[in-house]
A and B are shown apart, each in its own frame.
Chain A
Amino acid sequence: MKRNIGTAAAAVAVMLSLGMAPAGAGAQTLTMAVGAPVTSIDPHYHQLSPNNAVADMIFDKLVNTDGQARLIPGLATEWRVVEPNLWEFKLRPGVRFHNGSEFTADDVAFTLSRVPNVPNSPSSFAIYTRPIQQVEIVDSHTIRLRTAGPYPLMPMDLSNIRILDRETHGNATTEDFNSGRAAAGTGPWRMVSHRNGDRIEFERNDAYWGDRPAFQRVDYRMITNDAARTAALLAGDVEFIDQVPTSDLAKLRTDQRVALSETTGLRIIFLGLDHMRTDASPFITDNNGQPVPHNPLKDVRVRRALSVAIDRQAIVDRVMEGAATPAGQFLPAGIFSHVPGLEAPRPDPEAAKRLLAEAGFPQGFRITLHGPNDRYINDSRIIQAVGQMWTRIGVRTAVEAQPWTTFVGRAGRQEFSAFLIGWGSNPEGSHPLRNLVATADRERGWGASNRGRYSNPELDRMIEVALGELDDAKREKLLQDAQRLAMEDVAIIPLHIQTNIWAMRRGLAHTPRADELTRAQDVRPAAQGGSAR
């Protein structure tokens, strides 16, 4: 019986999609709508998630990642460490670009030389190629990359670089990619047309080396307004949407025409604290409004109090409508170097008050909590909730939400005492450690997003050791120890890790991705009678 209902639903979905699809295209066209605009087709121009998703459809990388962010072979079939500072990648034979040009080691060398030299790039991919000191082509399908020292992150770094063809892209500019003249990769889709900020049309690359995509054509639209995107799905104008607004979740879960696909993401939402000042912090005063001469946040007991004061589960349930997981560390379970047993702190206002009293603030103090109001899901509502929880333990909190454009600059200049911000991690503990809590150091490129200026020489040393360890098992242990130290010292206050949610017409199935990318190759017709999950 259940099977019959499912089949009937699938049949209805097919009928609906047939009714809506442009004449002649039939069910062979997948119409998708994404919530963030794709700004360039040049895969090396701007390190930006929406652009990376589309680049993943047209181009390939040496190393791919699966839905749970594990490294899997892409254009490279295998890779190994030859010497401590020398990586070797074996390349996939018989792969051709969309225009017929063959893929060889020389194309990899060309790609690595192009990446740091894209003119006007507002955020280049050079951060991933800089560790490479020398590129050696062994034969047409073997390439070696030499680094200054042992560099365990090489495969992960290369999972961000899309490979281009020396013959096709030798002189290609960003505009050539946008116009389609140079948009030829080795990926599962060919770009047919691109209308900036509106839609991109693809057709299947039948010569693709990997799994054949399920659809003949893809219409990839950009609908930035959340309500309009959901409405377009319900109206049947599109069959698949990403960034489902949390306010629509309850309704969509009960809608028979719609299926959801979700997975825990890699984006952590956390509170940064002012670790830089030992004297007065700009937004902390005593209960009479007078400046506190010494920054209370330098005391780990105060930081711990602020952390255990927060009821993370309540925020997840009420503010996030369940679309998040309470967090006690950077990475979710199941990801490399997640620390087992390090749970989200249980809310305990009484313990928080005791800790404050021990730290010399039995009456608490006043603080302003800042945050963006247009960047993360429900960001301004989260800081309101945190503000109330802090006020409950005697830390009287004012909340100030502002647009990201002004917020991010001020946070980067250490103008706040406490602020909410998010971080989308690569699936390795060294990534958040190095960027968020390592001592800011230009030469090393560490702590660039350490906006609270936390600094702990012991932690820095542990990160350094881990980054020189090529053995994955040993490195995982080192990274877990370092993360445990950072969390025990409350370098940041983690709140939750977002859940990534997509919605589609029933009859479609989707492999959700922890990295938030929305790609057509992850969508296929659901198995007969099955649900779309």
Chain B
Amino acid sequence: MTVFLLRRLMQAAVVVLAMSLLVFIGVYAIGDPVEILISPEADQIERERAIAALGLDLPLWQQYLVFLGKALQGDLGRSFVFNEPALQLILQRMPATLELAFGATFAALLIGLPLGLYAGLRPDSSVSKGIMATSILGFSLPTFWVGLMLIMVFAVQLGWLPSTGRGETAELFGLRWSFLTWDGLAHMVMPAINLALFKISLVIRLTRAGVRETMLMDYVKFARAKGLSPARVTFVHVFKNILIPVVTVVGLEFGGTIAFSVVTESIFAWPGMGKLIIDSINVLDRPVIVAYLMIIVLMFITINLVVDLTYSLLDPRVRLESKA
């Protein structure tokens, strides 16, 4: 177990280092942040001052070494745009994104699992066919379009829900959360559903496929032959066994949701990390881009670890040492 964790940690360090180097070269290749940030009115002297102030007058390799030296002391640099520590900026925005991602994942499981289970147990009923047909829409409709449609219908036409923003927040552990107030929850419904749409479809399909496969297994047949109630067969013998693929996919999707909920956050003006990163990329705010991607890499590694640990709980046959 310890060896497994240490190995994972080493892998993480290597990936983070490689990633930071790639971002440095990438941003350098795209363009010059000063050209984008500086006022068009600035004269040549002011341009030179700004380039020096942001440390961009050094050769790229020196800039990278300066960054590495500071990063080892826990300083990921200051945002060119906000003049605040990049890490702090990202952490400030993290709660908004986390609660949206949790809300979406929760909604996906809450809606997707029962529907998928039903569709798997009664594959020939017309309701099941309806569920499967609808799930195709969840895959194929673009998020930004669905988001705008949700706003047009529920905010503009019906006026049931607020169109954008995060609403009122309440403090918990020194951070601001929307899900603790009614107003905040009302603001969260549409972006969370929008983000969950793809996931709901995914969970439905995975669950249905898993159920149909498992139902033919010998141990299920045996359980039924033994005279166990259909409920017990479904929820203990079938359900537990189909959870492994579902947990893997939902876990990985969760990481993706946190890292790349850019479209949803932009449309609903949700002040999360996704909005921060897209704004930062647009102005080549390198410290924020690097810090953000480093955090995301660490997060993915952690999620994978949690998924692996969950396997071993769900399926005692999985041994972590052998996997590592």
Contacts and interface: CB of A to CB of B under 8 A. Distances in A.
A124 B30 contact: no
Contacts of A376: none
A45 B155 contact: no
Interface string B19-34: 0000000000011111
B179 interface: no
Contact of A406 (B31, B53, B279): B31
Given A221-B165, A228-B151, A120 B41 contact: no
Contacts, number: 166
B315 interface: no
A122 B269 contact: no
A449 B40 contact: yes
A225 B269 contact: yes
B42 A47 contact: yes
Contacts of A405: 30-31, 36, 281-284
A337 interface: no
A435 B152 CA distance: 44
B78 interface: yes
Contacts of B81: 39-40, 46, 122
A237 B44 contact: no
Contacts of A424: 40
Interface string B177-215: 000000000000000000000000000000000000000
Contact of B30 (A130, A228, A406): A406
A224 interface: yes
A122 B45 contact: no
Among B43, B53, B81, B284, the one with the most A-chain Cβ atoms within 10 Å of its Cβ is: B43
B271 A197 contact: yes
A242 B145 CA distance: 22
Given A122-B50, A124-B50, A228 B268 contact: yes
Interface stretch (B156-164, B224-232, B239-247): B156-164
Contacts of A198: 165-166, 269, 271
A121 B279 contact: no
A191 B285 CA distance: 26
A122 B53 contact: yes
A209 interface: no
B295 interface: no
B83 A174 contact: yes
B159 A236 contact: yes
Interface in A217-268: 221-225, 227-228, 231-232, 234-237
B13 to A, nearest CB: 29
Given A47-B41, A445-B45, A412 B35 contact: yes
B24 to A, nearest CB: 16
A227 B156 CA distance: 12
A196 interface: yes
Contacts of A235: 151, 155-156, 159, 162-163
Contacts of A348: none
Interface residues of A, number: 57
A195 B168 CA distance: 12
Given A120-B78, A231-B148, A405-B31, A237 B83 contact: no
A417 to B, nearest CB: 20
Interface string B69-98: 000000000101111100001001100000
Nearest to B282: A405
A228 B143 CA distance: 14
Contact of B39 (A119, A123, A195): A123
Given A40-B83, A178-B84, A442 B44 contact: yes
Among B44, B78, B82, the one with the most A-chain Cβ atoms within 10 Å of its Cβ is: B82
Nearest to A42: B83
Contact of B43 (A121, A175, A223, A448): A448
A404 B92 CA distance: 28
A120 B93 contact: no
B269 A222 contact: yes
A354 interface: no
A514 B158 CA distance: 36
A423 B49 CA distance: 22
B35 A408 contact: yes
A259 B154 CA distance: 23
Given A46-B37, A196-B92, A237 B163 contact: yes
Given A47-B39, A224-B266, A237 B162 contact: yes
A409 interface: yes
A404 B36 contact: yes
A48 B39 contact: yes
Contacts of B152: 231
Given A46-B81, A235-B162, A406-B30, A120 B53 contact: yes
B276 interface: yes
B95 to A, nearest CB: 12
Contact of B49 (A47, A124, A449): A124
B82 A231 contact: no
Among A47, A236, A405, A442, the one with the most B-chain Cβ atoms within 10 Å of its Cβ is: A405
Contact of A409 (B31, B162, B166, B276): B31
A196 B269 CA distance: 12
B8 interface: no
A199 interface: yes
A160 B267 CA distance: 33
Among A37, A40, A123, A234, the one with the most B-chain Cβ atoms within 10 Å of its Cβ is: A123
A231 B275 CA distance: 19
A342 interface: no
B152 to A, nearest CB: 6
Given A122-B80, A235-B159, A408 B37 contact: no
Given A198-B269, A445-B45, A449-B41, 7 more contacts: A39-B82, A123-B42, A196-B89, A223-B269, A232-B164, A235-B162, A412-B32
**Minimum-distance CB pairs A-B, first 10:** A445-B43, A198-B271, A47-B39, A122-B37, A235-B155, A442-B44, A409-B31, A223-B269, A123-B38, A235-B163
Interface of B: 30-47, 49-50, 53-54, 78, 80-84, 89, 92-93, 147-148, 151-152, 155-156, 159, 162-166, 266-269, 271, 275-276, 279, 281-284
Interface of A: 33, 37, 39-40, 42, 45-48, 119-124, 126-127, 130, 174-175, 178, 195-199, 221-225, 227-228, 231-232, 234-237, 374, 404-406, 408-409, 412, 423-424, 426, 431, 435, 440, 442, 445-446, 448-449
